[in-house]
């Protein structure tokens, strides 16, 4: 048990007796002092609370970790009530105005803004690692023509681990650095290869003369021209979008990277776990789902009926709501400011009118207001991606590219954290106990597992 005067490792003052919980177990009448530090109590401090010597002791129960801190981190700060987002203490609005995605990636990973020399070296390294092994093309060609690009990105990201076996030396800083450079450099190449495969177009190799976003646009859209010349307004818009998507503290995919990475697997495999988690429609897949939702609504006249459907739980208002933000997602606000700049180049996306009216009506509706549901980062981003002529199933790939730097930063921080151990949660067991085996001829049918003939097999999918 912590004594009364306990120094915290957060650099704060000495704890006083008031920095604790006094807990009484009414089953036994026993009382316990549980230390409070950094606004938390340690779950393990509850294990001492038992009803008998052979009692395992109390655990905490928190499915989805809605109120559980899994780590200490200095990378991203979010104030959900105030709608504040900072990376290493720098407000996202200032980074979008003054910085670049690669500079923010450096900031996330190495903890401070780079000097001019450090940034030039960082950009040079990334620019010169954008190629992937030629064998990667064989993996991509093994997919159906209509394979979802997130499925292809998931596979090819994991496959990278087989080309860089030394990345298993996760304690070597040089290996950690090279994994960061290679992952950040190659994600746009893997994404563009997946896109070109879907269209049956030849792959476009990286062009080292172009910026990071410019090179991505070239690998995506270059056709017969000798040299692709990206529109600087689109380069800037992409760069800002990628800054906005770079990191977001312990979100679902970052938690996946940390959990998988805690087994000390190589960083490519850990990041592949992040790609898999981001793929889900409740997470990174929401930007694609927003566009499909806007298509389903069709016109602003249909918005009232759609919102009634949401309130009856028949629909979800995709791109709205957030586990942490109970205010306007600051990233959505910045994206909305950049929408018009993109439309100057691409032409206006008429779905913006539906999105703006949908937001207005939702924010005027008690159902959404009382649940503190506001637009999140995914609500407007898809409109820009669609205006860039990207297909909806590539939108989440556009999220995965920049989130790679956040995943790598969080993975490194975890590796350097002395408190890190392999992630292995407990459970509340609800199943049967100590059953005797039943010979098969004495069993009665107790389960209704769907048999093959009842499961829908789409003949087109084989
Ligand atoms: C991202 O964590 C991160 O930081 C993620 C992210 C990042 O950068 O990594 O910010 C990126 O994933 C953004 C979120 C993208 N997802 C969506 O837009 C999908 C739609 N949103 C919802 O599914 C939902 O809001 C979540 C998943 C984002 C958050 O869900 P929570 O925190 O578990 O909240 P909840 O489901 O408990 O909802 C609370 C209430 C419920 O109503 P009641 O049952 O209490 O009456 O709000 C309702 C929910 O039904 N609700 C919604 C809603 N979101 C929540 N109702 C309708 N539409 C919605 N979008």
pLDDT in tens, 261-293: 999 999 999 999 999 999 999 999 999 899 999
- The reply to whether ligand 1 has any atom less than 6 angstroms from the CB of 323 is yes
pTM for this entry: 0.91
| Position 413 pLDDT exceeds 60 | yes
pLDDT value at 177 more than 80: yes
Interval 21-55: pLDDT, tens? 999 999 999 999 999 999 999 999 999 999 999 99
CA of 46 to the centre of ligand 1 (A): 31
Exposure string of 123-161, with b = 16+ CB inside 10 Å and e = fewer, is bebbbebbebeeebeebbeebeeebbbbbbbbbbbbbbb
Distance 331 CA to ligand 1 centre (A): 16
Domain chopping of the chain, boundaries: 7-61, 93-421
Atom of ligand 1 nearest to the CA of 247: 8
Question: Coil, strand or helix: which one is 254?
Answer: helix
Ligand 1 centroid–CA 242 distance in Å is 22
Contact 110, 270 (CB under 8 A): no
Atom in ligand 1 nearest the alpha carbon of residue 253? 9
Does residue 143 contact residue 152 with C-beta atoms inside 8 Å? yes
Q: Is the CB of 373 under 6 A from ligand 1?
A: yes
Structure tokens that stand for 223 in this block: 């056709």
Q: Whose CA is nearest to atom 22 of ligand 1?
A: 321
Which sequence positions are flagged as catalytic? 283, 322, 378
Cβ of residue 310 lying under 6 Å from some atom of ligand 1: yes
pLDDT tens track for 83-114:
999 999 999 999 999 999 999 999 999 999 99
The CA-to-CA distance between both ends of the chain, in Å, stands at: 61
Does 92 sit in the ligand 1 pocket, CB within 6 Å?
A: no
Using the atom order of ligand 1, give the atom closest to the CA of residue 64. 33
- CA dist 205 and 130 (Å) reads 9
CA 110 from centre of chain: 20
Q: Whose CA is nearest to atom 40 of ligand 1?
A: 371
Query: Which residue from 268, 242, 249 is spatially nearest to 180, judged by alpha carbons?
Result: 268
CATH architecture of 93-421: Orthogonal Bundle (1.10)
Query: Does 201 sit in the ligand 1 pocket, CB within 6 Å?
Result: no
Inter-residue contact 233 to 342 (CB < 8 Å): yes
Residue 462: pLDDT above 60?
no
> Is the C-beta atom of 410 inside 6 A of ligand 1?
no
């Amino acid at each position: 048990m912590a004594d009364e005067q306990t120094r915290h490792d957060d650099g704060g003052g000495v704890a006083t007796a008031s920095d604790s919980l006094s807990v009484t177990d009414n089953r036994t009448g026993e009382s316990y002092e549980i230390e409070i530090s950094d606004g938390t109590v340690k779950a393990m401090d509850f294990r001492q609370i038992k009803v008998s010597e052979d009692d395992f002791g109390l655990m905490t129960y928190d499915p989805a970790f809605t109120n559980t801190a899994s780590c200490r981190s200095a990378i991203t700060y979010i104030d959900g009530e105030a709608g504040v987002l900072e990376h290493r203490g720098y407000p996202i609005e200032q980074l979008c105005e003054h910085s670049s995605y690669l500079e923010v990636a450096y900031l996330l990973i190495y903890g401070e803004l780079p000097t001019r020399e450090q940034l030039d070296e960082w950009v040079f390294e990334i620019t010169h690692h954008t190629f992937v092994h030629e064998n990667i093309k064989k993996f991509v060609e093994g997919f159906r023509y209509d394979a979802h690009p997130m499925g292809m990105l998931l596979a090819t990201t994991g496959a990278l681990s087989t080309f860089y076996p030394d990345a298993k030396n996760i304690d070597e800083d040089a290996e950690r650095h090279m994994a960061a450079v290679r992952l950040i450099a190659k994600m746009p190449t893997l994404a563009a290869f997946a896109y070109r495969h879907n269209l049956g177009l030849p792959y476009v190799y990286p062009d080292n003369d172009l910026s990071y976003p410019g090179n991505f646009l070239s690998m995506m859209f270059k056709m017969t021209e000798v040299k692709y010349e990206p529109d600087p307004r689109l380069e800037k818009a992409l760069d800002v979008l990628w800054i906005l998507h770079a990191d977001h503290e312990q979100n679902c995919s970052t938690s996946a990277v940390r959990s998988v990475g805690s087994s000390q697997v190589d960083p490519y495999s850990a990041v592949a776990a992040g790609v898999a988690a981001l793929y889900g429609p409740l997470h990174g897949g929401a930007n694609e789902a927003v566009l499909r939702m806007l298509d389903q609504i069709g016109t602003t006249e249909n918005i009232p009926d759609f919102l009634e459907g949401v309130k009856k739980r028949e629909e979800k208002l995709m791109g709205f709501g957030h586990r942490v933000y109970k205010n306007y997602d600051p990233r959505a606000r910045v994206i909305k400011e950049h929408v018009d700049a993109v439309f100057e180049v691409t032409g206006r996306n008429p779905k913006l009118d539906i999105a703006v009216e949908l937001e207005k009506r939702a924010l005027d509706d008690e159902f959404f207001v009382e649940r503190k549901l506001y637009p999140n980062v995914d609500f407007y981003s898809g409109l820009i991606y669609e205006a860039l002529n990207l297909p909806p199933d590539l939108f989440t790939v556009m999220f995965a590219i920049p989130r790679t730097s956040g995943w790598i930063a969080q993975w490194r921080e975890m590796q350097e954290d002395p408190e890190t151990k392999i992630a292995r949660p407990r459970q509340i067991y609800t199943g049967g106990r100590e059953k005797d085996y039943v010979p098969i001829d004495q069993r009665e049918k107790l389960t209704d597992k769907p048999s093959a003939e009842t499961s829908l097999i789409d003949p087109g999918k084989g």
